[in-house]
Amino acid sequence: MNGSQHMAQPLGFSRRVFLKASAAVGGGLLISFALPGLMRGVQATEGAFAPNAYVRIDRDGRIFLTIQPVEMGQGTYTSMPALIAEELEVGLDQVIIAHAPADDQRYANPMLGFQVTGGSTSVPANWTPLREAGAAARILLVAAAAQQWGVAADSCKAQRGEVLHPTSGRKFGYGELADAAAKLPLPESLPLKEPKDFKLIGTAAKRTDSPDKVNGKAVFGIDVHPEGMKVAAIMLCPVVGGTLDSVDPEPAMAVRGVHQVVRTDNSVAVVADHMGAARKGLAALQIKWNGGANAKVSSAQMLEDIKAASMQPGAQARSEGNVEEALAKAAKKLEVTYHVPFLAHACLEPVNCTVHVRKDACDLWLGIQVPARAKAVAAQLTGLPEAAVQVHNHLIGGGFGRRLEVDFVADAVKIAKQVDYPVKVIWSREEDTRHSTLRPFHYNHLSVGLDEQNRPIAWTHKVTGGSILARWLPAGFIDGVDGDAVRDACGPYAFPNLSVHYVRHEPPSGILPAFWRGVGHTQNAFMVEGLLDEAIQQVKADPFEYRYPLLQQHPRAIKVLELLREKSGWDTPLEPGRGRGLALTHCFGTFAAQVAEVTVSPNGEVKVDKVTSVVDCGIAINPDSVVAQMQGGTIFGLTAVLYGNITFKDGQVEQGNFDTYRMLRINETPVIETHVVASSESPGGLGEVPTVTIAPAVVNAVFAATGKRLRSLPIDPEELRQA
């Protein structure tokens, strides 16, 4: 059994897509498509076509695209429509984009089998289905036109929302053909364009969401204002997992504009006409909490606990060759431990949710990566059937995994149940940080054995940490192995003997291990690329040349590295105190490598001067968006490398606002250069890729500059300070 495959290649995505056409409600042509259940443990039922996305063309020729992945900055409301529009033969200026409603069946992520935006899956998962949806619609529209004209379909041509018959000069708009097309049977096969014929894919596109985001018109979840709405400031028990003891509401009620103080099992909320009054009211309260079992939880103790847990053998996730034998005969052996801290997401749009609970219905307004889960939790807490809960999804002001969770939806619904109007609950920045779900703390043991020629012959990696999947997607937690936690545990390298193990060690209950941009790769690539660099430095090898023999099965990786060496100026010497570091990843179907160039000051402060990236993500649907994601993902990762660290004392998160949970700013941002390899391979994911490589690239650069090896994050300048 190969544990690392549990999530890394989920789920053997079948390219087979079932399409069906039907008359759209209100007239027109509707194309919906469905995929068989793909999740392990979920039965694929052929013949039961549960549609999961829609192209709708009305009689006026308006083209509506309902997009399953939600826009959170990654450009999905530009790339997803481009896939459909490419085959439908319309421009992006001709389509109207709608958020998908909450529905795990109709709007399942084709790769993951339920409604979710995450794991950098949007492009790879929808690459074929959305083009086929566009092609099916176009074929039917052309057939309808050909039928009406009494000509052969192949004598007609679709172009910018019209079907033309060039020899006679006749044409129909798509809207005029919608009803007729809806009555035609779907074509047997859906031939797709060759890449050389792409008009939209591969061309820099203007983002469809940009205009409203530069003039204040874009509506995020936090911006909604349903009729009669009031706003609430919330405070949760400062000790994670603790409960409310008591509170006297009077000081808050004395604040003008405050309507109500709402108590739940674990929170207090002050409801007011405006957030100024709500926050003032909340600040006036003296709240008594019950810290409960976690009242003494501290980071120091958690570190001791996870260290101890990591000594267990763990569940085997992967094994190739005979690693014990190979290690025993290795000429050199490096055995190390690495660890990475808890991290919060710190989306700039703080967690918020607007809820209106009535006797027979419930509405939610928010930005969420998992709308159907939001619906389910609201139904559960209100006792209403799911059909009575409506989720109005919105633009997301930063997801990064935080909005893959519905803990805050539950908190908001508990408050909304106690008021008889819509209430918008907004977390303060401090509450957002202190009650974030967290990228799990990992404490890993790694080793590498080298032969007489200094080549790696054995590689072991034991991951210890809290399991995200055991809670979030139990089907992905198999035989004691969290498939996400062991992703990339050996990098993309062909080590002849290797083993990967996983020890599940949960933090105190109430601390929720959760996905964070880059998921399990971020932790493991830091350690794998770090240890590989340790071996390379010890044997004084060239970091590029040393990797090539280990990458013979990945010619794309070699090409990426070769280009990176040239573009990064790797072979140009640097002055003392400066250094370059290399890191490579193969994740989300994409190959990428980065060189970071750093300066380390005598007092140990690390300044990242320049980051050069080369990426082969297959066909780049929107090449400009690829560059933007490489820039942004690098900066997101740099914040974690330099500053990111959530710690606990007396059961409480010690960080709060941006003064204590620091973010990289423009004046700290390095020069970032991105080179995209032209490729005709199927597209890979991208949003998380640079976040994976930047940490090891920087740490390896710090070693080059100082000779000091960092095996934990964030970088501690004290460790680098010159004596």
Partner 1 sequence: MAHVLKINGTEHQVDVDDDTPLLWVLRDVLGMTGTKFGCGMALCGACTVHMNGNAVRSCVMPVSAVVGAEITTIESVGETPAGKRIQEAWLAHEVVQCGYCQSGQIMSATALLARNANPSDSDIDGAMAGNICRCGTYVRVREAIKIAAGQSPVARAEG
Site residues for partner 1, 372-411, by CB under 8 A, read 395-400
339: left (phi over 0), alpha (psi -120 to 50) or beta: beta
For position 562 contacting partner 1 by CB under 8 A, the verdict is no
- Binding partner 1 (rule: CB under 8 A), the pick from 218, 303, 384, 410 is 218
Which range of residues in 317-325, 381-389, 590-598, 674-682 is near partner 1 by CB under 8 A? Answer: 674-682
For position 567 contacting partner 1 by CB under 8 A, the verdict is yes
Residue with smaller CB distance to partner 1, 500 or 694 = 694
Residue 174: its H or E element: helix 174-182
- Binding partner 1 (rule: CB under 8 A), the pick from 15, 358, 607, 665 is 665
501 pairs with which residues across the strands?
316, 462
| DSSP annotation of 395 | B
Residue with smaller CB distance to partner 1, 478 or 626 = 626
- Binding partner 1 (rule: CB under 8 A), the pick from 148, 337, 390, 631 is 631
Which range of residues in 95-103, 135-143, 276-284, 583-591 is near partner 1 by CB under 8 A? Answer: 276-284
| CA torsion angle 705 708 713 716 (round to 10) | -90
For position 624 contacting partner 1 by CB under 8 A, the verdict is yes
Residue with smaller CB distance to partner 1, 80 or 277 = 277
Q: How far apart are CA 567 and CA 272, in angstroms?
A: 56
Q: Which residues touch 577 (CB under 8 Å, ≥6 apart)?
A: 599, 600, 601, 602, 705, 706
Residue with smaller CB distance to partner 1, 48 or 219 = 219
Which range of residues in 271-279, 324-332, 460-468, 568-576 is near partner 1 by CB under 8 A? Answer: 271-279
Q: How far apart are CA 717 and CA 702, in angstroms?
A: 11
For position 206 contacting partner 1 by CB under 8 A, the verdict is yes
**DSSP sequence for 566-603:** HHTTTTS---TTEEEEEEEEEETTEEEEEEEEEEE-TT
Applying the rule CB under 8 A, the residues between 530 and 549 that interact with partner 1 are none
Q: How far is the CB of 677 from partner 1 (least distance, A)?
A: 9
Which range of residues in 134-142, 548-556, 632-640, 708-716 is near partner 1 by CB under 8 A? Answer: 632-640
Q: How far is the CB of 224 from partner 1 (least distance, A)?
A: 9
- If one counts every other C-beta atom within 10 angstroms of the C-beta of residue 420, the result is 12
Applying the rule CB under 8 A, the residues between 419 and 448 that interact with partner 1 are 426, 428-429
Q: How far apart are CA 485 and CA 443, in angstroms?
A: 11
- If one counts every other C-beta atom within 10 angstroms of the C-beta of residue 243, the result is 15
Binding-site string for partner 1 from residue 91 to residue 120, where x marks contact by CB under 8 A and - marks none: ------------------------------
Q: How far is the CB of 109 from partner 1 (least distance, A)?
A: 19
**DSSP sequence for 633-649:** HHHHHHHHHHT--B-EE
Residue with smaller CB distance to partner 1, 103 or 688 = 688
Do residues 413 and 381 lie in contact, with contact meaning Cβ atoms separated by under 8 Å?
Answer: yes
- Binding partner 1 (rule: CB under 8 A), the pick from 246, 312, 322, 657 is 657
Q: How far is the CB of 327 from partner 1 (least distance, A)?
A: 40
Do residues 695 and 641 lie in contact, with contact meaning Cβ atoms separated by under 8 Å?
Answer: yes
Q: Which of 251, 297, 292 is nearest to 270 (CA)?
A: 251
Binding-site string for partner 1 from residue 329 to residue 358, where x marks contact by CB under 8 A and - marks none: -----------------xxxxx--------
- Binding partner 1 (rule: CB under 8 A), the pick from 24, 35, 72, 237 is 72
For position 143 contacting partner 1 by CB under 8 A, the verdict is no
Q: How far apart are CA 8 and CA 11, in angstroms?
A: 8
Q: How far apart are CA 663 and CA 123, in angstroms?
A: 28
| CA torsion angle 82 86 88 91 (round to 10) | 70
Q: How far apart are CA 478 and CA 658, in angstroms?
A: 38
Q: How far is the CB of 223 from partner 1 (least distance, A)?
A: 4
Reported residue count of the chain is 723
Which range of residues in 356-364, 372-380, 542-550, 629-637 is near partner 1 by CB under 8 A? Answer: 629-637
- Binding partner 1 (rule: CB under 8 A), the pick from 635, 646, 686, 715 is 635
Residue with smaller CB distance to partner 1, 448 or 615 = 615
Assign 446 to helix, strand or coil.
strand
For position 215 contacting partner 1 by CB under 8 A, the verdict is yes
**C-alpha distances out from residue 602 to 574, 598, 705, 718, Å:** 16, 13, 11, 10
Q: How far is the CB of 680 from partner 1 (least distance, A)?
A: 15
How many residues of this chain interact with partner 1, rule: CB under 8 A? 74
Residue with smaller CB distance to partner 1, 52 or 639 = 639
Which range of residues in 161-169, 211-219, 301-309, 373-381 is near partner 1 by CB under 8 A? Answer: 211-219
Q: At what angle do helices 623-642 and 689-706 cross, to 10 degrees?
A: 50
Q: How far is the CB of 639 from partner 1 (least distance, A)?
A: 8
Residue with smaller CB distance to partner 1, 34 or 282 = 282
For position 184 contacting partner 1 by CB under 8 A, the verdict is no
Please give the distance of CA 198 from its chain centroid, rounded to a whole number: 28
End-to-end CA distance of the chain: 50
For position 664 contacting partner 1 by CB under 8 A, the verdict is yes
Q: How far is the CB of 702 from partner 1 (least distance, A)?
A: 21
For position 75 contacting partner 1 by CB under 8 A, the verdict is yes
**DSSP sequence for 343-380:** B----SS--EEEEEE-SS-EEEEE--S-HHHHHHHHHH
For position 263 contacting partner 1 by CB under 8 A, the verdict is no
Which range of residues in 221-229, 460-468, 535-543, 546-554 is near partner 1 by CB under 8 A? Answer: 221-229
**C-alpha distances out from residue 600 to 309, 577, 604, Å:** 35, 6, 6
Q: How far apart are CA 531 and CA 489, in angstroms?
A: 11
Residue with smaller CB distance to partner 1, 509 or 657 = 657
- Binding partner 1 (rule: CB under 8 A), the pick from 220, 421, 570, 643 is 220
Q: Which of 490, 592, 221, 388 is nearest to 378 (CA)?
A: 388
Which range of residues in 17-25, 132-140, 270-278, 440-448 is near partner 1 by CB under 8 A? Answer: 270-278
Applying the rule CB under 8 A, the residues between 279 and 308 that interact with partner 1 are 279-280
Q: How far is the CB of 101 from partner 1 (least distance, A)?
A: 21
Q: How far is the CB of 216 from partner 1 (least distance, A)?
A: 2
Q: Which residues touch 364 (CB under 8 Å, ≥6 apart)?
A: 353, 354, 355, 374, 375, 378, 389, 390, 391, 392, 409, 413
- If one counts every other C-beta atom within 10 angstroms of the C-beta of residue 16, the result is 12
For position 674 contacting partner 1 by CB under 8 A, the verdict is yes
Question: Token pair of 122, please?
Answer: 């949007």
For position 41 contacting partner 1 by CB under 8 A, the verdict is no
**DSSP sequence for 545-566:** HHHGGGGTT-HHHHHHHHHHHH
- Binding partner 1 (rule: CB under 8 A), the pick from 174, 544, 636, 648 is 636
- Binding partner 1 (rule: CB under 8 A), the pick from 29, 111, 135, 222 is 222
Question: Token pair of 214, please?
Answer: 């530069």
Do residues 385 and 189 lie in contact, with contact meaning Cβ atoms separated by under 8 Å?
Answer: no
- Binding partner 1 (rule: CB under 8 A), the pick from 211, 228, 385, 549 is 211
Residue with smaller CB distance to partner 1, 280 or 711 = 280
Residue with smaller CB distance to partner 1, 73 or 134 = 73
For position 73 contacting partner 1 by CB under 8 A, the verdict is yes
